[in-house]
Amino acid sequence: MAFHRISSSNLEIKEISKILKDKKKLKLSDKSIIKIIKSREYLDEKMRESPSPVYGINTGFGSLCNVKISPSKLVELQENLVMSHACGTGDTIPKPIIRLMLLFKIQSLSYGHSGIALETVNRLVDFYNNDILPVVYEQGSLGASGDLAPLAHLALPLIGKGEVYFNGDKIESSVVLKEFGWDPIKLRSKEGLALLNGTQFMSAYGIFILLEANRLYEFSNIIGATSIDAFDCNLSPFDELVHLVRPHRGQIKTADRIRELLKGSEIGKREKTNVQDPYSFRCIPQVHGASKDTISFVENTFITEINSVTDNPNIFVDEDKIISGGNFHGQPLALALDYLSIAMAEIGNISERRIYQLISGLRGLPPFLVNNPGLNSGFMITQYTAASIVSQNKQYASPASIDSIVSSNGQEDHVSMGANAATKALKVINNVSTILAIELFNSSQALYFREENTSPFLKDFIEKFRSKVPILKEDQIMSYHIQNSKNFISGFQV
For the segment 118-128, the average pLDDT, to the nearest whole number, is 98
Closest CA to 347 of 280, 427, 414: 280
| pLDDT, tens only, 193-249 | 999 999 999 999 999 999 999 999 999 999 999 999 999 999 999 999 999 999 999
- pLDDT averaged over every residue in the chain: 94
Distance CA 383, CA 24 (A): 42
What are the beta bridge partners of residue 322?
315
Omega into 51 within 30° of 0, i.e. cis?
Answer: no
| pLDDT, tens only, 133-187 | 999 999 999 999 889 999 999 999 999 999 999 999 999 999 999 999 999 999 9
Handedness of CA 421, 423, 426, 431 (dihedral sign): negative
Q: What's the confidence (pLDDT) of residue 300?
A: 97
Given a cut of 70, whether residue 56 has pLDDT beyond it is no
| pLDDT, tens only, 263-275 | 999 999 998 888 8
Q: Look up 55 and say whether it is catalytic.
A: yes
Given a cut of 70, whether residue 55 has pLDDT beyond it is no
Q: What's the confidence (pLDDT) of residue 189?
A: 87
More confident residue, 215 or 66: 215
pLDDT more than 90, % of the chain = 84
Up-side HSE of residue 4: CA atoms within 13 Å toward CB?
A: 26
pLDDT more than 70, % of the chain = 95
Catalytic residue among 42, 55, 128, 137: 55
Question: 490 near 433, Cβ under 8 Å?
Answer: yes
Question: pTM value?
Answer: 0.95
Q: What's the confidence (pLDDT) of residue 67?
A: 67
Q: What is the DSSP letter of 411?
A: T
| pLDDT, tens only, 325-355 | 999 999 999 999 999 999 999 999 999 999 9
Q: How many CB atoms lie within 10 A of CB 239?
A: 12
- DSSP states of 65-118 as a string? TT-B--GGGHHHHHHHHHHHH---EEEEPPHHHHHHHHHHHHHHHTTS-S---H
Given a cut of 60, whether residue 63 has pLDDT beyond it is no
> How far is C-alpha 256 from the chain's CA centre?
26
Question: 198 near 146, Cβ under 8 Å?
Answer: yes
Q: Hey, is 138 helix, strand or coil?
A: strand
Q: What's the confidence (pLDDT) of residue 404?
A: 86
pLDDT band, very low/low/confident/very high, at 493 (cuts 50, 70, 90): confident
Given a cut of 60, whether residue 310 has pLDDT beyond it is yes
Handedness of CA 492, 25, 210, 204 (dihedral sign): positive
Q: What's the confidence (pLDDT) of residue 65?
A: 59
Give the domains, in start order, of the chain with CATH numbers: 30-198 (1.10.275.10), 207-231+291-491 (1.20.200.10)
| pLDDT, tens only, 373-414 | 888 999 999 999 999 999 999 999 999 999 988 888 777 889
Q: What's the confidence (pLDDT) of residue 76?
A: 83
Maximum Cα interatomic distance, the chain, rounded to a whole number of Å: 88
